[in-house]
């Protein structure tokens, strides 16, 4: 385990976990130096199990405090490291939009993508029914946002982009791809724009120490 300096955050992570990607992405966008403890999904370390009441990744330890839930961690990072570029807009209504987009992603988009991807090999047929339609409804909303600006919010790149990106990337990675993805070209181009950010390359880098 890396040496722990109180001011240097330690992230318990799993490289392919979309929730952990959110946190690594935010840390890299802010230019925060951090240590990383790469976990095995099927065998979490005793240290992580002792710190997280639900035994999940991601979890961030900073100044002696264990912080979990990806969207709580990313907001914390944004506030705790103000010298990096802000990832939350200043306007309270736009801040609420970030949180609503994140809430809908966690509650509806993510499970529907899982239902589409794994189908009845993992879920009951009733849960899978209508998954494509539910996803397309969310995509229509994102497509219409992206007609007006390059990022999901009018104020610029934000945690909304960071929070939704790992899940939409998964959707675009499904093989064979659903034909209806072609109906959302602006979301496709947004995915490319987010993927091309230097912080995303760092997010997916294989080295264990950041």
Ligand X SMILES: N[C@@H](CCC(=O)N[C@@H](CS)C(=O)NCC(=O)O)C(=O)O
Largest CA distance in the chain: 49
- As measured in angstroms, the least distance from the Cβ of 13 to ligand X is 10
- As measured in angstroms, the least distance from the Cβ of 185 to ligand X is 29
φ, ψ dihedrals at 65, nearest 5°: -110, 135
Residues 16 to 55 in contact with ligand X, rule: CB under 6 A: 17, 19, 55
Secondary structure of 98-128 in the HEC alphabet?
HHHHHHHHHHHHHHHHHHHHHHHHCCCHHHH
Q: Is 60 near ligand X (CB under 6 A)?
A: no
Q: Is 56 near ligand X (CB under 6 A)?
A: yes
Q: Is 70 near ligand X (CB under 6 A)?
A: yes
CA atoms 125, 130, 136, 140: torsion sign: negative
- As measured in angstroms, the least distance from the Cβ of 59 to ligand X is 8
Contact 158, 151 (CB under 8 A): yes
Nearer to ligand X by Cβ, of 102 and 155: the residue is 102
Q: How many CA atoms lie within 13 A of 138 on its CB side?
A: 24
Instruction: Out of 9, 28, 58, 194, point to the residue binding ligand X (CB under 6 A).
Output: 58
Nearer to ligand X by Cβ, of 44 and 156: the residue is 44
Q: Is 69 near ligand X (CB under 6 A)?
A: yes
Q: Which residues bind ligand X (CB under 6 A)?
A: 14, 17, 19, 55-58, 69-70
């Amino acid at each position: 385990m890396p040496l722990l300096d109180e001011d240097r955050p330690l992230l318990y992570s799993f490289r392919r976990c979309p929730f952990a990607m959110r946190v690594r992405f935010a840390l890299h966008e802010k230019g925060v130096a951090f240590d990383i403890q790469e976990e095995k999904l099927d065998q979490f370390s005793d240290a992580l199990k002792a710190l997280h009441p639900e035994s999940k990744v991601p979890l961030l330890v900073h100044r002696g405090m264990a912080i979990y839930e990806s969207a709580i961690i990313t907001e914390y990072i944004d506030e705790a490291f103000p010298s990096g570029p802000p990832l939350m807009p200043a306007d309270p209504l736009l801040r609420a939009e970030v949180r609503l987009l994140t809430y809908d992603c966690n509650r509806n988009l993510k499970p529907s993508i899982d239902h589409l991807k794994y189908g009845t090999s993992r879920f009951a047929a009733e849960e899978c029914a209508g998954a494509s339609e539910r996803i397309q409804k969310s995509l229509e909303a994102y497509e219409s946002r992206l007609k007006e600006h390059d990022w999901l919010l009018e104020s610029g790149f934000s945690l909304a982009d960071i929070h939704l990106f790992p899940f939409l990337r998964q959707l675009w990675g499904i093989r064979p791809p659903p034909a209806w993805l072609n109906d959302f070209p602006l979301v496709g181009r947004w995915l490319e724009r987010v993927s091309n950010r230097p912080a995303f390359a760092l997010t997916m880098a294989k080295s264990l120490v950041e």
